[in-house]
A and B are shown apart, each in its own frame.
Chain A
């Protein structure tokens, strides 16, 4: 079981990957430890400095749309954020998150506010979110098949090192 406790960092709908990290920043380096100082700078230049280890991004619809750039996932992890909760995710960001061990949690975030104390619980395939500030417990769509398998390994690198191939469960 994985349990992540942290405070909500609230963002809106359609947060594209260029907003998460600008294309112009990753032109000189793909080192997420360097890039994290510019996390979400287009939306809020002070955001990166305000991130605390364990913070959880809470967004609206279509998080991670636009470019498929994978630094958008690794820079979030490098900043100390281990889960993103959103109404929905763009597919390329979702894959990149799973492949790097960043947990994408799909649930109704409409009642979540900035700073709410949250817990994300991944227990087997079951995924849930507790919002302590709002006394809410939300059950999320479970992670299944190869998605869960990759996340269980901690990402696609450890998965590939162990399996040497892509072998989805049930096929």
Chain B
């Protein structure tokens, strides 16, 4: 048998035959995810295709995350269309306030090593942190999968990404992810999977691996996959529903490209406007005035992210700088509940932060807070395209939660390693 990558192994298992990079595989999906942004259109396609039933209602989930809550009667009508469909066909509906689709699947212990997940949300790749193949599709592919339980995939070549070295204080998974976006480029992983290896992986918890996988799509990756190890088991403990089938790459698997990143000397990174690959060391952006800080999204909206942001904000002075609007949006109800229980949200509130409804928040201008004309925004999100947050005259900078927290305190982009205020 030929040596295979993780992608080749998972897709072979799902195709029921051995497949290799370059082949078209007809794969059986384990989970099909839709959002409020993509599901109304998927339902249109489903009906036009003559769909009569879901292949397996227990494997189809819709989450209202992009429009959370609906800001107009028209948006609410799109929500209602999905609610009615979900009820009619028995699919699970996660309504406003529940969370981001693939985050919910992971929290419920349904995103298991070895599985294949498709979601009509490009950031579905995030779930690959759990040693599985997760990829984004459009609404029509989603509809066909809702009917057939299948998706055709060209088996991708893989890029072997090896992380080595020792993790330093204040080095965030976001910094590693941004460094990779810079190194690989905005289409460097197009049609390919990023498969992670190396001695430094053990330094990153599962939630942090999600951050690295999440940014995979900003390199155009089809999937981004971590190995299954202690961090995976720790995350799945008490959550796991069903059987997992961890997958490892064969030693002699063939890769399209191999990249090694030594994280020992990596400094915090910032993506400058208006592209996620426009990445510089934070030293080069430090001092840039900012008027809005956004903590949240499928990249930076988990418990650890808010803890790191708050700690950095305290280290840098402990108050939000005058003229800075701080917006906090947990990625899921579970995250929200943990942060309420441990006092984190109360601490942000007492600093004057706006806590908005669970979901995608202000990331793509569809819910939450729209930036004011002409402002600079520092965000924990993944995309900083012009107009992404709903205002073409705003400039969006992307950084780690710690950099965002420190910068909220100073009112300018601030290296979280340097931010210690003496009073």
Contact = CB atoms under 8 A, between A and B. Distances in A.
B333 interface: no
A68 B137 contact: yes
Interface string A20-35: 0011101111100000
A60 to B, nearest CB: 10
Given A18-B364, A62-B187, A160-B50, A146 B385 contact: no
A133 B27 CA distance: 45
B364 A24 contact: yes
Contact of B152 (A14, A28, A166): A166
A151 interface: no
Contacts of B275: 14
A22 B233 CA distance: 39
B252 interface: no
A29 B74 contact: yes
B354 interface: no
A111 interface: no
A163 to B, nearest CB: 10
Contacts of B415: none
Contacts, number: 144
B50 A68 contact: no
A168 B78 CA distance: 33
A157 B385 CA distance: 32
Interface residues of A, number: 45
Nearest to A70: B138
B152 A168 contact: yes
Contact of A27 (B45, B71, B222): B71
B366 A65 contact: no
Contact of B45 (A16, A24, A28, A156): A156
> Which among B120, B187, B365, B386 has the greatest number of chain A C-beta atoms within 10 A?
B187
Contacts of B388: 18, 23
B49 A16 contact: no
Interface in A135-150: 145-146
A27 B72 contact: yes
Query: Which residue, of A26, A68, A92, A164, has the highest number of chain B Cβ atoms within 10 A?
Result: A68
A14 B48 CA distance: 32
Contact of A67 (B24, B78, B122, B390): B122
B164 interface: no
B222 A24 contact: no
Interface in B49-94: 49-50, 66-67, 71-72, 74-75, 78
B141 A99 contact: yes
A88 to B, nearest CB: 6
B12 interface: no
Interface in B174-214: 186-187, 190-191
A171 B74 CA distance: 43
B248 interface: no
B37 interface: yes
A69 B72 CA distance: 20
Contact of B364 (A23, A96, A99, A170): A23
A155 B49 CA distance: 11
A28 B385 contact: no
Nearest to A18: B385
B144 interface: yes
Contact of B41 (A24, A71, A90, A167): A71
B140 A100 contact: yes
Contact of A171 (B25, B38, B220): B25
Interface in A63-105: 65-71, 73, 88, 90-92, 95-96, 99-100
Contact of A168 (B26, B71, B191, B386): B26
A68 B122 contact: yes
Contact of A26 (B37, B48, B390): B37
Interface of A: 14, 16, 18-19, 22-24, 26-30, 42, 61-62, 65-71, 73, 88, 90-92, 95-96, 99-100, 145-146, 155-157, 160-161, 164-168, 170-171
The 10 A-B pairs with the shortest beta carbon distances in the complex, nearest first, are: A70-B138, A62-B187, A160-B49, A23-B364, A28-B74, A96-B138, A99-B140, A68-B136, A24-B365, A68-B122
